[in-house]
Structures are given as structure tokens and as C-alpha cells.
Amino acid sequence: MTADECMLIAGMTAVTFGIRYFLFALADRIRMAPWIEASLKFIPPAVLTAIILPAVLLPKGDWHLSLSNPYLVAALVTTAAGIRTRNLLATIAVGLCAFFGHRLFL
């Protein structure tokens, strides 16, 4: 492992464990402000969206807004499958099939 990799893993471990343990450590000595509590539920979808949208629309770093972009096609098919099936495993399977089907046949 390189020094950079050690720092990466140490840093990620510290912040991940820190967040998971913070409230457990303080236990009942803490009360969260209501506005913080109300904001928590928006964190996962906001973060995930901010990560994937650029990855899908600019897969190689440049805009690729057409149906010849397999990442975009996979994302659209996944969204449709997710809304229809409401089943995470099935949604992922359909999305992956769309991507590899697109790459194989188009």
C-alpha cells in the first residue's frame, strides 16, 4: 500500500466510524436541533443524485447527450425499471442488462 492509500483508508475509516459512533458515544447527553433532524432524510438522495448525474451525462468527461451514450440509456432504463418493479435487485439487473445490451448490439 502506498502512503496515499494508507491516508485514504485512515481518513475514510475515521469519518465513517466517527459519524456512526458520535451519537452513541454521547448517548442521552445530546439533543439534535429539529431543523437538523428534519434535514437528515434529504442527505442520501441529494448526495447520490449529485454523484450519478454528471457520471451519466458526461461519462468520459465530455457531454454526451444522445441515445448512443450507454450510460444514459442504462440510467433511463434503470429509472423506468425502478418505478415499475420497486425491487432493488430487479432494478439493478435490468439496468446492467440495458448497458451491456447497448454496448453489445449498438
Partner 1 sequence: MPLSLRRQEFIRGVRDTLPLLLGAFPFGLIYGAVAVTSGLSLAAAMAMSAFVFAGSSQFIAVGLVAARTPVAIIVLTTLIVNLRHMLYSATLLPYLKNLSQKWRIPLAFWLTDETFAVTVHRFQQADGSTEKHWYQLGSSVAMYLNWQFWCWSGLMLGTKIPNASEWGLDVAMPVTFIGMIIPFVKTIPMAVCILTAGAASLLTLTLPYKLGIVVSAFVGIAAGFMAERNLKKTKGALPQ
CB of 51 within 8 A of CB of 64? no
Burial 17-55 (b: 16+ CB within 10 A, else e): eeeeeeeeeeeeeeeeeeeeeeeeeeeeeeeeeeeeeee
Q: Is 68 in the site for partner 1 (CB under 8 A)?
A: no
Minimum gap (Å) between residue 63 Cβ and partner 1: 9
CB of 98 within 8 A of CB of 73? yes
Minimum gap (Å) between residue 12 Cβ and partner 1: 5
**Among 43, 104, 105, 106, which residue sits at the site for partner 1 (rule: CB under 8 A)?**
43
Residues in contact with partner 1 by CB under 8 A are: 1-2, 4-9, 11-17, 19-25, 27-28, 32, 35, 37-58, 70-71, 74-75, 78-79, 82-83, 86, 88-89, 91-92, 95-96, 99, 103
